[in-house]
Amino acid sequence: MKKISQPFYLSILMIGLLASCSKKDISTTLVSSNLTTSDTAIVAADKLATLAVVVDPYAAIKLSFGNNIDPRNLLNYANQAKPAYILKDNSRNNPITNSKATLGRVLFYDKNLSTNNTISCGSCHKQNLAFSDIAPVSDGVEGGKTVRHSMRLINSRFARETKFFWNERALTLELQTTMPIQDHLEMGFSGLSGRGNMISLLAKLSKINYYKELFRFVYGDTTVTEARMQESLAQFVRSIQSFDSKYDAGRTLVRNENDAFPNFTAVENTGKNLYMTPPVFNAAGLRVTGGAGCNGCHNAPEFDIDPNSRNNGIIGLFGSTTIEVNDTRAPSLRDLTKKDGSINSPMMHNAAFNSLRGVLGHYNNIPLNNRNNNLDARLRIANTGQRLNLTPTETDAIVAFMNTLAGTNVYVDRKWGNPFLIP
């Protein structure tokens, strides 16, 4: 028996590849070619393995993700149901598709995106914590620590504000997504201190077999570019949505936010009123009537931040006397807490508060600091910070209302979970 030489074998493979674009056709071509040179039975096991990889376009995907990712049967990111009253959307020219969001999911959980393969986006944005981190500052590569607290990534899509980060330094979500990768303290591809940069990362990812398959599947070729990463990571982040709260159950039953919700307790409805209604102050800056005015900046029903908001008086940074007056963004106030009332993570850019009560204590008495030249005018009354003068009953009611914004599914839905078999 004559053994087929490797070059001959490869040339058949090449002909197969050139002659067709469908993988099924390639395998047929190979098999039939084999038959015509029929005296060939011996093919070493490793050649068979190579062949299997060539014939199954998703072999490496299967190896790394098992059933978690099946390109022939993608999970639904593109056509998720959303309530009719949710109208804000910052997707612009990058609407969600199942294939790009799936690629985004892999990138989001891949530690290869850090210089020493220890940190993924998911290390600091944990699904069971509303995609935030319980730690006030999160661990990056080689002992690096973030400067600010990790942000929850809930309903990022459903907002008027199109800029991201506490201080809005990312002009779009697309641009945001590759900034942590290039941050020296976070994922490390900064090009500083002998570390690689974005170009090195693209080269690194290009060599990984599941990315060859995924990029070909999503984009038609295996080229890994920063723009493709941004597009797919942003789609994945925008796909993370949460609309199964008690608030939503009530909102569907009424005409607008200000109607009493039939499914709410009296206390929750009182809290909602206080949240929605602007305060009325006397000349000394003390609230005499009206509500707490939260909705002026965190607008229902998305609870996204008013794009014109200035800072809310939280200007401290961790363990430093540096002040930050440009932190004027907050993520949606949905899912600050879980259904049981426990918080997902400390709140504000400096993780100042571990409870909603603590947050209300702040708004109840906004401190004035003469270095803060960017305090929102709504919170400064007659040369003093607002004093809401909330009674304990009013505070309890607002807390009860904010707890109605807790969802359930977003914490457990596998489409937003880590797809790696070995996480």
Minimum Å gap between C-beta 98 and ligand HEC is 18
Among 329, 334, 387, 415, binds ligand HEC (CB under 6 A): 329
Among 61, 103, 330, 406, binds ligand HEC (CB under 6 A): 330
Q: Which of residues 99-138 bind ligand HEC (CB under 6 A)?
A: 108, 113, 119, 121, 123-125, 138
Query: Does the protein bind ligand HEC through residue 376 (CB under 6 A)?
Result: yes
Minimum Å gap between C-beta 223 and ligand HEC is 19
Query: Does the protein bind ligand HEC through residue 312 (CB under 6 A)?
Result: yes
| Residue whose CB is less far from ligand HEC, 20 or 361 | 361
Interface characters, 164-193, with ligand HEC (x: CB under 6 A) = xxxx-----x--xx--xx----xx------
Query: Does the protein bind ligand HEC through residue 156 (CB under 6 A)?
Result: yes
Query: Does the protein bind ligand HEC through residue 387 (CB under 6 A)?
Result: no
Query: Does the protein bind ligand HEC through residue 410 (CB under 6 A)?
Result: no
Q: How far apart are CA 57 and CA 283, in angstroms?
A: 71
Q: Which of residues 215-234 bind ligand HEC (CB under 6 A)?
A: 233
Query: Does the protein bind ligand HEC through residue 151 (CB under 6 A)?
Result: yes
Minimum Å gap between C-beta 363 and ligand HEC is 4
Query: Does the protein bind ligand HEC through residue 407 (CB under 6 A)?
Result: no
Query: Does the protein bind ligand HEC through residue 311 (CB under 6 A)?
Result: yes
Residues found near ligand HEC in the complex (CB under 6 A): 108, 113, 119, 121, 123-125, 138, 140, 146-153, 156, 164-167, 173, 176-177, 180-181, 186-187, 233, 237, 292-294, 296-298, 309, 311-312, 314, 327-331, 333, 336, 347-349, 359-360, 363, 376, 378-379
